[in-house]
Structure formats: structure tokens, C-alpha cells
Homo-oligomer: A and B are copies of this chain.
């Protein structure tokens, strides 16, 4: 149903050496932590990476309240991050795709302040924080890369903040779809045609609106010819219209 995983079927576990995948050969190494590392450094990083078997839809990558021990890089699939609010409600703080680093918000905390669960069958690379830290001593570039990822995460959150604090339902959905498309594009997929791995409920939760509203906006967009939405399959027909709607600058044409 989902695109097939690179996983071999061999019951590999934990140790990188039991698994075919290595950072050096990973298709994501230009997007992920090895980005600015030398061949040698990449190999050192590779050694501390724990690659576990695929986790299934609904499984936890890490759970709010667990001791903060590792960062995780998503190899395939996607996850949603969320916190449980005091009133018991789940609040989705973000969706993450392949090559993205998750768990960063745990820094400075003894435990994970949020949970991450797989939205589909997903494989992750685990980076134990103490080893990563130790490795950082001798690899300034790795250090920079981690800081970099955190800076990115902060900017991402602030962009979201920016959106949630002002925008209407239409603007939020337009932005959300475009943003997802761009992220797929960076990973070599089509920016205009993709599959939403998250439910409407999750989208609604994340964007701070009612499910009904999400549904209505999708329908409206479809009627207007901006997108073609059939269940989770999305085709963006008029990216410029969406870009205009999302409140992005009118002067620069849409990047997808």
C-alpha cells in the first residue's frame, strides 16, 4: 500500500553492522546530519547510529515523559509529534518526513516533552545523545549540523506560530498543502501530487480548526479548481492560487 521500504526483511536490529544501510550510502545523506561531514566523519557518525526494524503505523518512536536519550532521523515514512495537554487532549506540534531529525525539543530536559508516533510504516535511525555529544567533541561540523537542525526547527515553529496566530482557515490549509509539497520536492518527490499520510483529524488538530472546517475547505478548494483531493491523495492544480491564498508575497511567483 505504501511505497516499499528499503528494509530487507532480515531481522536486523540495533547494530549498524547487521544492516545493509549506512550513512555513506543512504540516499538522504545530503539532507540529513552527514550533510557537511567528511567521508571519514560520516563513517564515525555511522558507527553510533542504531538502525532498528520498521515501526508500524501508530507505534511510538518515543513517548512524552520517557528519559531523553536519543535523537531520531527519519529514514522512510513519516511521524506526527504531539504533546498531551493538561486537559488530556492531544496537540499535534508537527509532522515530520524522511531525513528530518526529531526529538530536538528534548534538549535541556531530562525527558521528552512530546511524543512521536508513526503515521505509516516508518524506519528511523537512532542517535544516542551521549554518544552524539561525545562525538561532537572532535567534530565541529557535526556540532554545527545539530545546531543547524535546531535553528531550522525553531524557524519552522515560528513560521507555524505566525500562521496560526493570524490566518483564516483557507490560508492555513493553503499553506499546509504548499508546505508539504515543497518538503516532498526537496526529497525528490513531486511537489504537486502526493499522499497525505495524516488524517483530516490530525490536520485539523495541528492547524487548530475543527475537522468539519478542514473538510469544507478541501471541498471548496476542489470546486475552485485549486486542488484535486480524493481521500488522502492530493494533486495541486493551481499552486499560484494557493500561494496567493496562503498570504505569501504576491510579487514572487510560487516556487512549485
| A residues with CB within 8 A of B | 83, 85-87, 89, 91, 93, 104-109, 113-114, 133, 136-137, 140, 143-144, 146-155, 157-158, 160-162, 164-166, 205-208, 247-250
Contact = CB atoms under 8 A, between A and B. Distances in A.
B154 A85 contact: no
A144 B133 CA distance: 9
Interface-central residue, A106, A143, A248, by most chain B CB under 10 Å: A143
Q: How many copies of this chain are found per oligomer?
A: 2
Contacts of A93: 158, 161-162
B151 A91 contact: no
A165 B160 CA distance: 10
Contacts of A105: 151, 154-155, 158
B151 A207 contact: no
6 contacts: A86-B248, A108-B149, A147-B147, A150-B150, A150-B151, A164-B165
Nearest to A167: B208
